[in-house]
Structure 1
Amino acid sequence: MPGDPGPMVRRRQLSALLRHYRLAAGMSVKEVADQLFEASSKITRIEKGQRLATVRDIVDLCRIYDLSDEIRDRLTELAKGSRERQWWQRSDLSPPLQILIGMEGSAKSILEYELTYFPGLLQTPDYADAVLRSWTTDPDKRSEFVAVRMRRQAIFESPDPPDVQTIVDEAVVRRMVGGPQIMREQLAHIIERVSSGCCDLRVMPFSAGSYQGLHNGFTVLSFGNFADLPGETLIPGVVYLELSDEARYLDASDDVAYHVSRFEKMRAQALTTEESIDLLRTAAADI
């Protein structure tokens, strides 16, 4: 796990800790809200990471939970760190995409399913540019978005990279994006990445027929436990969901568990890693 989790994960780390200490104090959300003369929804949103806790919030909650000055100072530092701005916090990126990028580098595992294109984490610059042509004809804007995708790929070079597992529909492999040369280079790039152990990729073949993941792509990020979280306190996972007209994220535990289960079922139904590489090589030779 990286030493600096970044503001998005610090926020979720703080949320997990505040929920842990509330439960350890044996208090309900309503009891805490009543003592603060606040709505219960405020406490719930803070504990879900949907609202940033202020330093005043931290001080008040630590008093209610009878926490030590050391714990209060630690939580205060997390709250301040949650407000640090990063390169991906920019107006031209949607809030859900900002959340995704902000958490990729600190994730323990990333499970990604795509049925239209290869994932952004595995795209070459030319392939990414060709994909983005369907979104904008402005070359300068495309160049900016391509640069964002390439910068995201730096997570593979980190000291402790996440376990990246990907499933793509065979249509992704067969779809001619950007022309023969760009597609051949993209397929070669995927083969190199998978063969080097950088990530795992499985192809869902046409021969599989109908399967559970046909409707939309999604990404599940899991974080496990940071060394400085007490007991079994876990940072909640996140689902980044790609829909036909929007993208959004889900962080309810049931939603995360459901998408992890879907991914595991599809992975069992897809080709093995070796079979997938063979299919990629065959597709490249057929271009």
Structure 2
Amino acid sequence: MANIRNLDPSASPLDYYGSELRRLREEAKLNQDQLGAILFCTGSLVGQIETARKVPTREFSERVDAALLTGGLFSRLVGLVLKSQLPTWFQPYAEMEARATYISAYQAQLVYGLLQTEGYARAVLSIDHSDTLDEQVAARMERQRILDRDQPPVLCVVLDEAVLHRQIGSPEIMRNQLAHLLTFRDHQWIQVQVLPFAAGQHAGLLGSFNLLRFDDDPDILYSESYESGHMTANSQAIRQRAVGYARLQAAALSREDSAALITRVMEERYGHQSGPAVA
């Protein structure tokens, strides 16, 4: 039986997406099962998305655009839908991150979100978001699309060595994550450095933080605690953290030595037989 539920298109990006999908499907004189057959999915899935009970994927959206000849409408909408699935307190940062020209990140506990594999992200997010895990993972992967733009931000990431040793998920997930970090070794716009245990006392002991720079807006300093994030454009705070970040980069291993350490940890701690090939 078809899913029928009246939506308020203005309620959320997900509701708007669902209402547009229903409207254009009906204009094409297709029922949910017929559209599902064209999209290689079930009519039930179409109905769940039309009634805002399930979040669409980018692949689903691209197929709908092709099937209903929408001119890319749903491929554009899905970005807004997935962004809306991020925690409310995190959404303002995600919006600023997507606009940044330069991103400088120090991470003491985890791989920075823009560099996480899907498996690693799923393992991290399963801790607190088990009821909406698929949606949260999809939203995190959507954030990473800024790195594929024609003019992506310059991204510099310093990872504490503890990040490499802290097993998130299975050994295979960690192998794949560390191998993924190695793919950025020679990237033009992305730099990954590891702050080794040997650095001892350092400028990041107070915790992880990110600095965002923009072409036409003030710099932003971002840090977070459990279930909350804090952004500030306070010039003194940014000045202090910018100096701190420069010191972290100076104390960190070079790109080449960082890659060597990542490789060693990947092979010695997690094995390397079934990980993805590293260029």
TM tier, shorter chain? 0.5 to 0.7
In structure 2, distance between residues paired with 1:222 and 1:133:
31
**Residues 203, 245 of structure 2: 8 Å contact kept:** no
**Residues 241, 250 of structure 1: 8 Å contact kept:** no
In structure 1, distance between residues paired with 2:155 and 2:171:
27
| Residue among 264, 276, 281 paired with 2:258 | 276
| Residue among 242, 254, 260 paired with 2:224 | 242
Map of 2:248 onto structure 1: 266
Distance 1:108 1:92, change over 3 A: closer
The answer as to 2:136 corresponding to 1:142 is: no
Amino acid at match of 2:187: S
In structure 1, distance between residues paired with 2:183 and 2:234:
36
**Residues 108, 162 of structure 2: 8 Å contact kept:** yes
The answer as to 2:211 corresponding to 1:220 is: yes
Unaligned runs of 5+ in 1: 1-84, 226-234
Q: TM-score, normalised by structure 1?
A: 0.63
Q: Deviations over 1:83-116 (max 9, x none)?
A: xx94466375233x21221122221100001011
Q: TM-score, normalised by structure 2?
A: 0.64
Q: Deviations over 1:255-280 (max 9, x none)?
A: 22222111111110111111100001
In structure 1, distance between residues paired with 2:223 and 2:97:
14
Two-structure CA RMSD over aligned residues (Å)? 1.8
**Residues 129, 136 of structure 2: 8 Å contact kept:** no
What SS class does the counterpart of residue 211 from structure 1 fall into?
coil
The answer as to 2:100 corresponding to 1:107 is: yes
Unaligned runs of 5+ in 2: 1-78, 271-279
| Residue among 186, 189, 202 paired with 2:193 | 202
Distance 1:91 1:157, change over 3 A: closer
In structure 1, distance between residues paired with 2:143 and 2:83:
13
Larger RCO (CA within 8 A; separation ≥ 6) = 1
Instruction: Tell me how far 1:245 sits from its aligned partner.
Output: 5.7
Instruction: Tell me how far 1:196 sits from its aligned partner.
Output: 3.0
Amino acid at match of 1:224: D
Map of 1:133 onto structure 2: 126
| Residue among 178, 184, 190 paired with 2:181 | 190
**Residues 110, 164 of structure 1: 8 Å contact kept:** yes
Q: Deviations over 1:4-40 (max 9, x none)?
A: xxxxxxxxxxxxxxxxxxxxxxxxxxxxxxxxxxxxx
